[in-house]
Structure 1
Amino acid sequence: MSGSVVLLNLAGAVALLLFATRMVRTGVERAYGDVLRHRLRSVLRNPILAVGAGALLAICLQSATAVSILVGSFTGAGIVGATPGLLSVLGADLGSSLVVKLLSFDLSLLVPVCLLAGTSMFMATERREWRQLGHILVGVGLLLLSLRMIGQASEPLRESEILPVVINYLSGDPITAFLLAAVMTWLFHSSVAAILLVCALAARGLVPIPLGLVLILGANLGGGVIAVMLSRGSVPRARIVPLGNLIMRTAGAVIGLAVLVLLQPPLGWLGAGPVDQLVHFHIAFNVALVIAGAPFAHWVSRLAESLTRTGEARQAGTLAGAEVSALDEAALAMPTIALANATREVVRVCGTVELMLMRVIELYEHADQVKIDELAALDDRVDRKHAAIKLYLAKLTANPLTEAETLRCQELLGASIRLEQVGDIIVRNLLAHVQKKLDRGLTFTDEGWRELVAFHHAVLINARLAFNVVVSRDAMTARQLVQEKDRLRTLEKQSSQSHFDRLREGTAKSLETSSIHLDTIRDLKQINSLLAAMAYPVLEEAGLLTGSRLRAV
């Protein structure tokens, strides 16, 4: 087998590993994301529980990076402090190392079981919960399959004449190997995938244990870089936790590298086989980082906060309040380019509305006047963008347009109008409910709050589908969006019935929050209807829209 074919097979196996890891994570986020976020928020205030919660969430999501971004957003919103947030991310890194240990076992029998069970669940029902569970099981099956493929693809490398040269060079230059592993992990966007790849190569005798330990440390450093890069566009406070985690991981990895190179400690205690030694070293490193880093978490979070403020102050003079518009007046004479500009601007409004929709549910649980005012300011931005888009499209229609260009212009205008209406509902209705709840000091029942969170999550998922339809104009996505509208109608009826059952039972909290609960469900349903309407032009063009929902008589 030629070297290019071997590398192609290995690259394909690694690609499947990355895809499967992402598949499991997105499935868990869609099915249980809101429940996990709610539970995480409730325990992050306790530093000890924060470590355990972070580890558990990382095991569920199979990604410490996702936990770092999530906790960073909580810190940015003021829900939790930077120190417990940093401790939870250290716990998430430990949980991620336990995932590697679990996947290092021989689980080949689970491949057909997970694929069969997951596909059956996904194909046999339209219920979101079961379909997402099937999505997760298929992801787990593909993940285990990819590990087997990596082992098979790397087997011919034993006979390679070039690989020993590369391995010998990296073994003699641990700093280069360390940095190479960090860069590889950043490119993979998954420390789990990078470490599993190193273990698979070590199991075939392609990577010696001393070099593998150096690569493991580099992968730990690269894992911290991923979250920092992904959060660089967030508000400054949301970047504190990922940056603090990177500071601690860098210090720990550098110290670990110095110990390996200078002291060359015995490795027998880590295990008998190469995979056990690498995996146990990875776990031991993260355990040591939690134990040694916990006393310094407060100081590291303050350092990270200082660094983010410094970066913010450096940009304040040129970027404060700046808003870039894609609506280039010079392009109006070229309808294709002008419509692309208008699409870009509508997508920006989509992003702002999505942010408003995400933040408003957090205010139901932890509200203060400053955050309410900040959310209201986002609606002012939506109104300005909407007015600008409307004027730009009006000027565009003054030029000769094809029928397709005219329809696209009307579609973008309709989307902009609906987005502006959604922003108004969030500010005028939902924020009013938040203010009422805050002023009266009311709290929901646990069951009522779970229903609101689940309903809000469904609307948020549909909002993202609607925003995708605006860009892609994909008929199948548009069809799915309208189908979800019908499912949400059923979910509303179930939530209302459960609420009235609690009222009949005389639950005090239900009586106090009844109007807020029902009005919130109604407003979220109205938002969902507006967003689902963005799919109608695409469905009509594809011939998938009937003339009326009324039954013929």
Structure 2
Amino acid sequence: MSMWNLFSLVGGLAIFLYGMIEMNKHLTSIAGSKMKSIMMTLTKGPVRGYFTGLGITIVNQSSSATTVLEAALVGAGLMTFHQSLAVTLGAELGSTFLPQLIAFPSITKFSSLIVFVGFLLRITSKDRKKRHIAMTVFTFGLLFLGMDMMSTSLKPLRSFEPFILLMKNIETPILGILLGVIFTMIIQSSGATTSITIAMALSGTISLEQAIPINLGAAVGTCITAVLGSITLNREAKRSAYIHILFQLIGAFWVFILLSIPFQGERLYIWAIKWFTLNVLRTDSLARQIAMGFTFMPIINHIIVFPNLRLILRFFNRIFPEGEAVKPFGVKYIKDRLISSSVDLSLLMAKKEVLRVADFIQSMIIDMKTGFSSNDISVFNRVRELDSKVDTLHASIIHFLAKLSQEELSEKESALCVNYMYIQNELESIGDLIDKNIMSLFEKKVDQDLKFSEDGFHELEHLIYRVNRNFEYLIQALKDDDLRMAKKVLDFHKKKEEEKYKKLHIERLYQGQSESIATSSVHLDLISYLSRINGHIAYIAKRLSRIN
């Protein structure tokens, strides 16, 4: 194997891994804003949870990323440990989708064309979502381009004696498994490890007997990402990540047993893979055999795990016992039975829940301010989690108030109930504005390394300060039924400073200030969104005036 082959191999590996990482990033950007809410909504039952884990992992191409996400939700109390189990198992199967795709070697012939099409789409796309789609196409082409480079560069190894000897040793399952574990712990993707073995198969440098143990080790090695991602989370979140290891070890154990049983001159597992691909899929493609061997690992695992889940959990709880149970996040003060016992108490408890929502919104405003002043990317996830909590409370509060409104209420009680509904809806709208709109601008600012002009930054900082101050006054007015404070909010709203700051920014554009030109779309959109938030705050203040 020449030095040029080595350069082509490492270059192909770099292009392949870069394509996989970036494709994951852009696919997640397209659907990522909805992933948490999808996972929270669709994990109420084990079957739905399983298919949710499967679907999300097909999108983000990483079972580890799915497991880290679910561990974070468990840690925040937005998902229970038991709900996470089905998601984990579904994610294991979802991680086998990429190797199945890679096993179509004919696609490599079109890799350069796919890269070119993706590049054209990227330079002609102005819409942010379209750019993410274009980059998904571009990086999808890079995957296959890297595969083609690797398989071509590896061909000389077919006659390289030391490599042939190494591959023969790997046929011993335990050595192949160890190699797969170590390599996957380094690159943190079992799908990537399997795809690399497929590239080697296409070059004729690896056999099915050698690839299967490596991929079995990869299935175990990929757990390291979930473990690392859960280090800073609470005990229940860690348990959610650690049981992923137990599930993978159970699967690896049974596949290892099947690899150790001789059958018709071969190992039983190898024979079964060959029989299935030849008789069911009607192909003798080695790449497809390797992909199917990787897919059958979680399938066999789940056939064993699902019927014995209670027993497995009992064993797991002895090794890693439950700490203090994390209650699923939800309402604290309102319960349907309150309605029949006391209308006054029901309205009081509804107000307390609305104040909880207001506290979460204020935290989102503070995080928003921190994000734009420091470019701290961790703010993005904190805001998203807070908005998930706001959405959860919103659904429960509106349901409770709607049910309360069906009771026989006095005129004042009815007005109070309706006003709380309006207030809660406005608060939820503020949360959505921050999470879905303003955080998108923040992400764009960070991604494109945009810097506001000094004057522009101070103006935006002042507007965010005003939003925060107005919201603090609003919370005080709501908490104490303070009409004077509500009027103060309305007086501040009448000043309409947003229009003044828009004009100042446009003046800087006329003057040709480079920072103002580069950040113009973010700057003007941010002013508009802050103005809308102040509008929602003023509307709530009007509602509070009506209550009093």
Residue 133 of structure 1 pairs with residue 139 of structure 2: no
Match of 1:383 in 2: none
Q: Alpha-carbon deviation of 1:247?
A: 0.5
- Displacement of 1:453 after TM fit? 4.8
Distance change in 2, residues 1:350/1:116 (3 Å): closer
For residues 234 and 11 of structure 1, do their structure 2 counterparts lie closer, same or farther at Cα, with a shift above 3 Å needed? farther
Indicate which of 270, 275, 285 corresponds to 2:276: 270
* CA distance in structure 1 between the partners assigned to 2:318 and 2:127 by the alignment: 47
Q: How many Å apart are 1:262 and its aligned residue?
A: 3.6
Asked whether the 8 Å contact 2:122–2:131 carries over to 1, the reply is yes
Contact kept, 8 Å, 1:43 with 1:50, in 2: the verdict is yes
Partner of 2:515: 544
DSSP-derived class of the 1:205 partner: coil
Residues 207-218 of structure 1: pairs in structure 2 closer than 5 A: 207-218=206-217
Tell me, which stretches of 5 or more residues in structure 2 are unaligned? 278-283, 325-371, 395-416, 461-489, 498-512, 524-548
1:6 alignment counterpart = 5
Equivalent residue letter for 2:134: G
Q: Describe the SS at the equivalent of 2:107.
A: coil
**How far has the Cα of 1:203 moved from its partner?**
3.0
Instruction: Give the C-alpha shift of residue 455 in structure 1.
Output: 5.5
Corresponding residue for residue 117 of structure 2? 117
Please list the CA deviations of residues 47-91 of structure 1 after superposition, one character each: whole Å capped at 9, or x if unmatched: 101111211111111111111111121222222222231211211
User: 1:206 aligns to what SS in structure 2?
Assistant: coil
Q: Is the 8 A contact 2:108 2:145 kept in 1?
A: yes
Correspondence list, 1:261-410, <5 A: 261-263=260-262, 264-265=267-268, 266-267=271-272, 268-271=274-277, 272-298=284-310, 300=312, 350=376, 353-354=379-380, 356-367=382-393
Paired position in structure 2 for 1:477: 449
Q: 1:161 to 1:109 in 2, by over 3 A?
A: closer
Equivalences for residues 228-247 of structure 1 within 5 A: 228-247=227-246
- Asked if 1 retains the 8 angstrom alpha-carbon contact of 2:29 and 2:132, the reply is yes
Question: Deviation of residue 99 (structure 1)?
Answer: 2.6
Per the alignment, in what secondary structure is the counterpart of residue 478 of structure 1?
coil
- Taking the aligned partners of 1:455 and 1:81, their CA distance within structure 2 comes to 27
CA contact (8 A) 2:453 2:516 kept: no
Alignment CA distance shift 1:453-1:284 (3 Å): farther
Q: Which residue of 1 aligns with 2:438?
A: 459
Residue type of the alignment partner of 2:36: R
Partner AA of 1:150 in structure 2: M
Instruction: Indicate how the Cα distance of structure 1 residues 176 and 310 shifts in structure 2: closer, same or farther if over 3 A, else same.
Output: farther
Measure how far apart 1:351 and its partner are: 6.8
Residue 49 of structure 2 contacts residue 83 of structure 2 at CA under 8 Å; is this kept in 1? yes
Give the match for residue 36 of structure 1. 35
Q: Do the aligned residues in 2 keep the contact of 1:221 with 1:246 (CA within 8 Å)?
A: yes
Pick which of 288-297 and 84-93 moved more: 288-297
Tell me if structure 2 keeps the 8 A contact 1:18–1:190. Answer: no
Query: Where do 1:161-176 residues align within 5 Å?
Result: 161-171=161-171, 173-176=172-175
CA contact 1:270–1:276 (8 Å) conserved in 2 = no
Equivalent position of 1:142 in the other structure: 142
> Is the Cα contact below 8 Å between 1:86 and 1:297 reproduced in 2?
no
- Name the CA distance, whole Å, in 2 between partners of 1:131 and 1:451: 27
The amino acid that maps onto 1:270 is: F
Q: Deviations over 1:515-541 (max 9, x none)?
A: xxxx9xx9xxx9xxxxxxxxxxxxxxx
Query: 1:83·1:297 contact (CA, 8 Å) conserved in 2?
Result: no
CA distance in 2, matches of 1:481, 1:256: 60
Distance (whole Å) between structure 2 residues aligned to residue 180 and residue 154 of structure 1: 18
The equivalent residue for 1:57 is 56
Cα displacement string for residues 204-235 of structure 1 (whole angstroms, at most 9, x for unaligned residues):
33222222111121111112233222322223
User: How far off its partner does 1:37 sit?
Assistant: 2.7
Identify if the C-alpha distance between structure 1 residues 308 and 365 changes in structure 2 by more than 3 Å, giving closer, same or farther. farther
Residues 1:225 and 1:304: Cα distance change in structure 2 (over 3 Å): farther
Q: Does the CA contact (< 8 Å) of 2:190 and 2:215 recur in 1? A: no
> What amino acid does structure 1 have at the position aligned with 2:127?
R
- Name the CA distance, whole Å, in 2 between partners of 1:184 and 1:311: 34
SS in 1 for 2:120: helix
TM-score, length-scaled by structure 2: 0.62
Q: What secondary structure is seen at the aligned counterpart in 2 of 1:108?
A: helix
| Contact preservation (8 Å) 2:37, 2:388 | no
Distance 1:39 1:358, change over 3 A: closer
- Pairwise CA distance, 1:349: 10
Alignment of 1:522-537 (within 5 A): none
Find out whether 1:253 has 2:252 as its counterpart. Answer: yes
1:222 counterpart residue number: 221
Once the two structures are aligned, what percentage of the paired residues are identical? 18
- Is 2:74–2:80's contact at 8 Å kept on the other side of the alignment? yes
Once the two structures are TM-superposed, the CA of residue 305 in structure 1 deviates from its matched residue by 6.3
Amino acid at match of 1:65: S
Is this contact kept in 1: 2:250–2:301, CA < 8 A? no
Shift of 1:155: 1.2
Partners of 2:236 and 2:323 within 8 A in 1: no
Deviations 1:354-385 (A, max 9, x none): 554232111112249xxxxxxxxxxxxxxxxx
The CA distance in 1 between the partners of 2:256 and 2:374, in whole Å, is 44
In structure 1, distance between residues paired with 2:240 and 2:146: 32
Where does residue 23 of structure 2 map in the other structure? 24
Q: Which amino acid aligns with 1:269?
A: W
Change (3 A) 1:454 1:287: farther
Unaligned runs of 5+ in 1: 313-345, 369-435, 470-475, 489-518, 527-541
The code of the aligned residue for 2:140 comes to V
Could you tell me whether the CA contact under 8 Å between 2:112 and 2:145 is conserved in 1? Answer: no
SS, match of residue 218 in structure 2 = helix
Counterpart Cα distance in 1 of 2:138 and 2:185: 25
**1:174 Cα deviation from its structure 2 partner:** 2.3
Return the alpha-carbon distance in structure 2 between the equivalents of residues 305 and 459 of structure 1. Answer: 42
Aligned partners of 1:273, 1:96: CA distance in 2, in Å?
21
Task: Go from structure 1 to structure 2 and tell me whether the alpha carbon gap of 1:305 and 1:38 turns closer, same or farther (over 3 Å shift).
Answer: farther
Bigger Rg, which one:
2
RMSD value, Cα: 4.2
Q: Within 2, Cα distance between the matches of 1:209 and 1:480?
A: 56
Give the conservation status (yes or no) of the 8 Å contact 2:28–2:59.
Answer: no
For the structure 1 residues 123 and 295, does the alpha-carbon distance in structure 2 shift closer, same or farther, using more than 3 Å as the test?
A: same
The 8 Å contact of residues 251 and 301 in structure 2, kept in 1 or not, is answered as yes
Distance 1:360 1:65, change over 3 A: same
Q: Secondary structure at the match of 1:40?
A: helix
> Secondary structure of 2:222's match?
helix
The residue identity in structure 1 corresponding to 2:152 is: Q
Mapped partners of 1:349, 1:131: distance in 2? 22
Given that 1:125 and 1:131 are in contact with CA atoms closer than 8 Å, whether structure 2 keeps it comes out as yes
Inter-partner Cα distance in structure 2 for 1:55 and 1:441: 38
Measured after TM superposition, the shift of residue 298 of structure 1 is 5.0
Distance in 2 of aligned mates of 1:443 and 1:55:
35
Q: How many angstroms apart in 2 are the aligned matches of 1:450 and 1:100? A: 42
Q: In 2, distance between residues paired with 1:103 and 1:201?
A: 12
